[in-house]
């Protein structure tokens, strides 16, 4: 386990001690070995992985660790956000067509695939089953539970089931973390935390940190947490403010300030302010006036969180949830707002993947001529080439035929040349 490089209790333990490599994870040894073997032996067409298990057992963590260890760019999608056939195909087909992004390999992670298995999916699950038959990039999917509705999807995948981490390992891990943090808890507290975590390591660490800071009682029932997705959706659908406040207070979320702390994709998912922001701006049922007021309330909280981070006054974060609950409650009622992890809409993401296909075609031809990797060709050689073509007023089609023997590369180059010239002046 990595040693923390911060003063005790200055950051969320669940993020500080998030494993960076697969071997640093706790529990599910056989499953972790199977995942490593699958990744090591992956070739185009290999069946996707389907990871099944309750929240907090390491499904997302192992995917991020794999991407780091095997040097892949990770593309994450929440499958429950794209239920119908057209949405599934529009998002996944471009990724399969772009096996690398700017010279780097892609690993596709589809979370919450059990969210598209309902009757309302309008062909979404069938489309996913069809698409994953011949994947051109490694695909890993995650679901909280196995169901009869996912039977066809499971047939086309290598299914691995994560189990809750057993209490014995949890207690050993908790003792290890407490020693690292120079924190002490009594035997009764530790047993209570382990039992109430239900095998969820994230819940274990959040509860232990809360207990060590003196914010929890000995029963531990007051720090039982729910997944941020359920908490955000529950807050916006609650009929009474006390219920909404309580749901928000129980979220397994944090307030890491993205301006001062490096944030992994999973950390961003757990950032309460980011989760509320992406959920609000992704809703189609909010009028402009209400949207402005909601974002104004959210921005005021963000200012407070920023100041708390700068001054390291972490105890003040206990008041932030009340500020959020009061500031957002009235204007967010009956707007149909639900949790949404992704604030970047597909019209923004789509052109990124389209451009990556253009660049991949150029760098595949350019890299051998320059005797460099495609990644170096993309990041170093190509920008200079484009600038030289622009400055020397080179005929792109003729250049492509002369140097690459392929006129179609000239079309791709032309797109980059136009991009390099910038927008045309009116």
Asked if the model's pLDDT at residue 328 lies above 80, the reply is yes
CATH code for the structural domain at 167-222: 1.10.8
* pLDDT score, position 8: 41
Query: For position 4, what pLDDT does the model report?
Result: 43
pLDDT digits (tens, 9 = 90+) for 356-375: 767 878 888 888 888 888 77
Quote the pTM value: 0.53
Top-confidence residue, 247 or 156: 156
State the Cα–Cα distance between residues 349 and 50, nearest whole angstrom: 25
CA distance 281 to 19: 32
Please give the share of the chain, as a percent, with pLDDT higher than 90: 9
CA neighbours within 13 Å on the CB side: how many for 99?
Answer: 11
How far apart are the C-alpha atoms of 109 and 106, rounded to whole Å? Answer: 10
Residue 79 has a pLDDT of: 66
Helix (H, G, I), strand (E, B) or coil at 162: coil
For residues 28 and 216, the model is more confident at 28
User: Which of 296-305, 342-351, 388-397 has the least mean pLDDT?
Assistant: 342-351
pLDDT of residue 123: 67
pLDDT tens digit sequence for 129-153: 888 888 888 999 888 877 777 788 8
267 or 251, higher pLDDT = 251
Confidence tier at 289 by pLDDT (50, 70, 90): confident
The lowest-confidence range among 41-55, 195-209, 254-268 is 254-268
Per-residue pLDDT at 96 exceeds 70:
yes
Residues 278-303 have a mean pLDDT of 85
pLDDT digits (tens, 9 = 90+) for 42-65: 888 899 999 998 877 888 889 989
Position 36 pLDDT exceeds 90: yes
Q: Which helix (H) or strand (E) holds 74?
A: strand 73-78
Nearest partner of 346 among 77, 75, 91, judged by Cα = 91
User: pLDDT at position 126, please?
Assistant: 77
- DSSP category for residue 226: B
Domain ranges of the chain: 28-161, 167-222, 228-332, 346-421
**What whole-number percentage of the chain has pLDDT above 70?**
77
CATH number belonging to domain 28-161: 3.40.50.300
Q: Is the pLDDT of residue 263 over 60?
A: no
Say if residues 323 and 300 touch (Cβ distance below 8 Å). yes
Q: Tell me, what's the pLDDT at 6?
A: 43
Output the pLDDT for position 222.
40
DSSP letters for 265-306: HHHHHHBHHHHHHHHHHT-SS--HHHHHHHHHHHHHHHHHHH
How much is the pLDDT for 140? Answer: 92
Cβ contact 39:70 at 8 Å: yes
**Rounded to whole angstroms, how far apart are CA atoms 173 and 197?**
13
Higher pLDDT, 29 or 230: 29
């Amino acid at each position: 386990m990595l040693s923390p490089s911060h003063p005790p209790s200055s950051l969320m333990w669940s993020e500080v001690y998030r494993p960076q490599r697969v071997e640093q994870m706790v529990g599910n040894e056989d499953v972790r070995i199977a995942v490593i073997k699958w990744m090591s032996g992956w070739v185009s067409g290999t069946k996707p992985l389907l990871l099944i298990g309750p929240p907090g057992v390491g499904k997302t963590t192992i995917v991020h660790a794999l991407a780091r260890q095997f040097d892949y760019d990770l593309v994450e999608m929440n499958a429950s956000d794209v239920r119908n056939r057209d949405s599934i195909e529009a998002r996944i087909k471009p990724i399969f067509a772009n096996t690398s992004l700017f010279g780097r390999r892609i690993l596709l992670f589809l979370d919450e695939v059990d969210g598209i298995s309902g009757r309302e999916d309008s062909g979404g699950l069938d489309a996913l089953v069809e698409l994953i038959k011949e994947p051109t990039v490694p695909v890993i999917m995650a679901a909280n539970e196995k169901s009869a509705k996912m039977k066809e999807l499971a047939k086309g995948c290598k299914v691995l089931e994560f189990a809750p981490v057993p209490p014995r390992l949890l207690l050993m891990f908790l003792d290890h973390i407490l020693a690292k943090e120079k924190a002490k808890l009594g035997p009764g507290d530790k047993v209570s935390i382990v039992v109430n975590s239900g095998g969820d390591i994230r819940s274990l660490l959040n509860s232990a940190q809360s207990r060590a800071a003196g914010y929890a009682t000995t029963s531990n029932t007051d720090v039982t947490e729910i997944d941020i997705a359920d908490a955000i959706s529950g807050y916006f659908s609650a009929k009474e403010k006390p219920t909404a406040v309580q749901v928000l207070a129980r979220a397994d979320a944090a307030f890491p300030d993205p301006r001062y702390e490096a944030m992994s994709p999973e950390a961003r998912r757990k950032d309460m302010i980011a989760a509320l922001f992406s959920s609000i701006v992704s809703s189609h049922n909010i009028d402009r006036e209400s949207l402005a007021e909601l974002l104004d309330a959210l921005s005021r909280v963000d200012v407070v969180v920023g100041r708390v981070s700068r001054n390291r006054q972490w105890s003040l974060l206990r008041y932030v949830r009340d500020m959020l609950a009061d500031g957002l409650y009235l204007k967010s009622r009956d707007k149909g707002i639900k949790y949404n992890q992704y604030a970047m809409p597909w019209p923004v993401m789509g052109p990124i993947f389209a451009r990556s296909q253009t660049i991949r075609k150029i760098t595949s031809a350019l890299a051998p001529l320059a005797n460099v990797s495609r990644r170096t060709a993309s990041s170093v050689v190509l920008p200079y080439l484009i600038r030289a073509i622009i400055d020397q007023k080179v005929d792109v089609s003729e250049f492509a035929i002369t140097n690459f023997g392929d006129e179609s590369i000239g079309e791709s180059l032309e797109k980059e040349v136009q991009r390099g010239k910038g927008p045309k002046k009116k």
